[in-house]
Amino acid sequence: MSNDDPIVYPGQPGAAHHHTFFGNTAVDAYTTSDNIRSKGNATCRGGTVNLSGYWVPSMIDTATSKPIAPKSLLIYYKTGAWPYFNDGSIMQAIPKGLKMIVGDASRKTAGGSGQFVCLTMATGTGHSAGSAIPTTCKDGDDLRMNIDFPQCWDGKNLDSPDHKSHMSHPIAFWTGDPQRQYRCPETHPVVLPRVSFSVQYTLPAGNDTTKWRLASDMYDQSLPGGYSAHADWMNGWDPAISDLWGMKCMRDRRDCGSANIGDGRTTLEFQGN
């Protein structure tokens, strides 16, 4: 955890709101796409072939003013809406150097990119979902924040001034077939795997989350917390490996599972290479 953000405030340590980082253990204000694979270790199950940086605004307990350590972070790389395209688009592997942000850190109203849910661990089902931190979680629940990155790339820029404009979500259109009604816009024609974050928190005693807010929730505290949910991602994959699973897992539409690269091997076999 720190007040760094190498995408929004590169080279400016302490300039950002408080963030919780996952993945590459050495990500700081001086991390760039050029050096991200040259430093740090990996907290990811796949090991050091994936030195990507993943970060979100910290969850703060305003009763103590202290950040709350998440229980876990699940990162998904999926085909997203691509199976529902009908235009013959071919999914491409993630380009080296890509970085992006999803969500709006300055948002003060409902309807943002983050989706919070009370997750009932015994059954794996969720309830009380919405863009605000729920206050109706039950005994035995965890709190989860889900957020999906856009998967359509302009094919040219690895970043943009707002760190968003080089990417786009697929757009819906009517083809007569409800299962084939998405495509990438003409301005962002390249289909990439969809990156999704799922950050999970253990609830406090009594399940009282009324004092929980994101570090970026800079609005009236009488309103629910969570509206400013957003997430940052900086590619730190070994491109030889991400190109491989991009082909085997994504294009072939295989369910590869954690650390499986789609050809019978796992990323752990490549550590130190």
Residue 7 lies in a domain: no
Average pLDDT over residues 175-186: 84
Structure tokens at 257: 């599972």
Structure tokens at 120: 């009932």
Residue 11 lies in a domain: no
Cβ-proximal residues to 53 (8 Å cutoff; 6+ apart), any chain: 6, 21, 23, 24, 27, 31, 36, 232, 233, 234, 236
Residue found under tokens 């919070």: 116
Instruction: Label residue 131 by pLDDT band (50, 70, 90).
Output: very high
CB 2 within 8 A of CB 18: yes
Residue 6 lies in a domain: no
Residue 126 lies in a domain: yes
Residue 141 lies in a domain: yes
DSSP reduced 3-state for 75: strand
> What are the pLDDT digits (tens) for 140-155?
999 999 999 999 999 9
CB 137 within 8 A of CB 209: yes
Strands (E), the chain: 19-23, 53-57, 59-61, 66-68, 72-78, 99-103, 115-120, 125-130, 141-148, 152-153, 167-168, 171-172, 182-183, 190-191, 194-202, 212-214, 230-234
Average pLDDT over residues 16-35: 98
- Among 112-116, 122-126, 216-220, 268-272, the range scoring the smallest mean pLDDT is 268-272
Its pTM surpasses 0.75: yes
- Looking at the structure of the chain, the number of domains it has is 1
In the chain, the N- to C-terminal Cα span, in Å, equals 29
CB 218 within 8 A of CB 68: no
Q: Is the predicted pLDDT of residue 114 greater than 70, yes or no?
A: yes
Average pLDDT over residues 116-145: 94
Residue 3 lies in a domain: no
Residue 88 lies in a domain: yes
Domain ranges, residue 256: 19-270
Give the whole-angstrom CA distance, residue 79 versus residue 148.
12
> What are the pLDDT digits (tens) for 206-247?
899 999 999 999 999 999 999 999 999 999 999 999 999 988
Instruction: Label residue 99 by pLDDT band (50, 70, 90).
Output: very high
Residue 1 lies in a domain: no
> What are the pLDDT digits (tens) for 181-205?
899 999 999 999 999 999 999 999 8
Task: Identify the pLDDT of residue 273.
Answer: 45
